């Protein structure tokens, strides 16, 4: 469960934020909404939030004391965990160098940009957990972890998740170039290794397991990389 704190005194702005969050395909809960220093400090000390949405216009005093409190209590667990919501006419200094600030948005919020940023934040925050879940799914199909193709496939699935579109993407345009750059390989090398690894999996995995996993009535040839990726994206259900 992704735990969120909203620091905001404007009720309508809170409603907008929660509505936008509800449209993002993540498992989250708003564990607190606060706008006084006492409320904020108590929540920061008693809860462990994954993300804090802070209205930078709430007041100069609260804004400054919020970060002073994090520093004084050495709450390093909130490193890169604060996203600011800023009025266009508000001048905020030292945003890029602030230990706790991850990103910021200007009002009025762009729903699509906000959703993509929050989704990306969630994925990066939970990278180790997500990678382990991907590996677990691949093990069900008897992919061998020692194969380079399996490692490339894990990266492809992870990058597809960041793309935040579980069906409408091109491996050769959107995914393979990123993975190729990550490993210092060519796109053809990434594709060839994954294709070879899937072929090995096809002969190692029993037919019924593969059919059940991919929801196929029958299977006579190795599945395509995108079929594997899309099915795993659906199964890990981030």
Residues 7, 113, single domain; the answer is yes
Question: What number is the average pLDDT over the span 213-227?
Answer: 90
Residues 16, 72, single domain; the answer is yes
| 53-70 pLDDT, tens digit each | 999 999 989 999 999 999
Residues 108, 137, single domain; the answer is no
Residues 106, 208, single domain; the answer is no
pLDDT category at 89 given cuts 50, 70, 90 is low
Residues 208, 93, single domain; the answer is no
Q: What is the pLDDT of residue 165?
A: 61
Residues 182, 149, single domain; the answer is yes
Question: What number is the average pLDDT over the span 192-213?
Answer: 95
Q: What is the pLDDT of residue 166?
A: 58
Boundary of a domain, candidates 125, 156, 184: 125
DSSP string over 19-47: HHHHTSSS-EEEEEEE-SHHHHHHHHHH-
pLDDT category at 1 given cuts 50, 70, 90 is confident
**CATH number of residue 24's parent domain:** 3.40.50.2300
Q: What is the pLDDT of residue 44?
A: 95
Residues 53, 121, single domain; the answer is yes
How many domains does one find in the chain? 2
Q: What is the pLDDT of residue 87?
A: 87
Q: 105: which strand partners? A: 85
Boundary of a domain, candidates 125, 149, 175: 125
Question: What number is the average pLDDT over the span 181-195?
Answer: 98
| 31-44 pLDDT, tens digit each | 999 999 999 999 99
pLDDT category at 238 given cuts 50, 70, 90 is low
Residues 216, 160, single domain; the answer is yes
User: What is the maximum alpha-carbon separation in the chain?
Assistant: 67
pLDDT category at 14 given cuts 50, 70, 90 is very high
Residues 151, 187, single domain; the answer is yes
Q: Is the pLDDT of residue 17 over 80?
A: yes
**CATH number of residue 141's parent domain:** 1.10.10.10
| 108-163 pLDDT, tens digit each | 899 888 988 998 899 998 899 999 999 999 999 999 999 999 999 999 999 999 88
By residue range, what is the domain housing residue 182?
Answer: 128-236
Residues 194/197/202/203 CA torsion (nearest 10 deg): 160
Q: Is the pLDDT of residue 94 over 80?
A: no
Residues 6, 121, single domain; the answer is yes
| 170-186 pLDDT, tens digit each | 999 999 999 999 999 99
pLDDT category at 225 given cuts 50, 70, 90 is very high
Q: Which of 8, 19, 119, 13 is CA-nearest to residue 54?
A: 8
Long-range Cβ contacts of 7-15 (<8 Å, 24+ apart)? 7/34, 7/35, 7/40, 7/52, 7/53, 7/54, 7/55, 7/58, 7/62, 7/66, 8/33, 8/35, 8/53, 8/54, 8/55, 8/58, 8/85, 9/35, 9/55, 9/58, 10/55, 13/55, 13/85
Question: What number is the average pLDDT over the span 198-213?
Answer: 95
Q: Is the pLDDT of residue 195 over 90?
A: yes
Residues 11, 40, single domain; the answer is yes
Residues 34, 63, single domain; the answer is yes
Boundary of a domain, candidates 63, 93, 125: 125
Q: Is the pLDDT of residue 201 over 70?
A: yes
For residues 175 and 163, the answer to whether their CB atoms sit within 8 Å is yes
């Amino acid at each position: 469960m992704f735990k969120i704190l909203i620091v905001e005194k404007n009720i309508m702005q809170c409603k907008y934020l929660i509505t936008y969050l509800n449209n993002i395909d993540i498992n989250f809960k708003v564990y607190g909404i606060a706008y006084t220093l006492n409320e904020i400090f108590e929540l920061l000390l008693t809860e462990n939030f994954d993300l804090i949405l802070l209205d930078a216009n709430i007041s100069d005093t609260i804004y400054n004391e919020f970060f002073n409190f994090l520093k004084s209590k050495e709450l390093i667990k909130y490193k890169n965990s604060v996203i600011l919501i800023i009025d266009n006419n508000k001048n905020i200094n030292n945003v890029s160098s602030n230990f706790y600030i991850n990103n910021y948005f200007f009002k009025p919020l762009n729903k699509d940009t906000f959703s993509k940023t929050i989704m990306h934040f969630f994925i990066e925050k939970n990278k180790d957990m997500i990678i382990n879940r991907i590996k677990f799914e691949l093990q069900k199909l008897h992919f061998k972890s020692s194969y380079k193709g399996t490692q490339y496939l894990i990266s492809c699935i992870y990058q597809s998740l960041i793309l935040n579109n579980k069906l409408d993407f091109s491996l050769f345009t959107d995914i393979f170039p990123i993975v190729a750059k990550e490993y210092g390989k060519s796109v053809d090398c990434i594709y060839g290794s994954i294709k070879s690894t899937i072929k090995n999996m096809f002969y190692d995995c029993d037919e019924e397991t593969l059919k059940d996993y991919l929801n196929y009535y029958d299977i006579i040839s190795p599945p395509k990389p995108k079929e594997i990726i899309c099915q795993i994206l659906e199964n890990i259900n981030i």
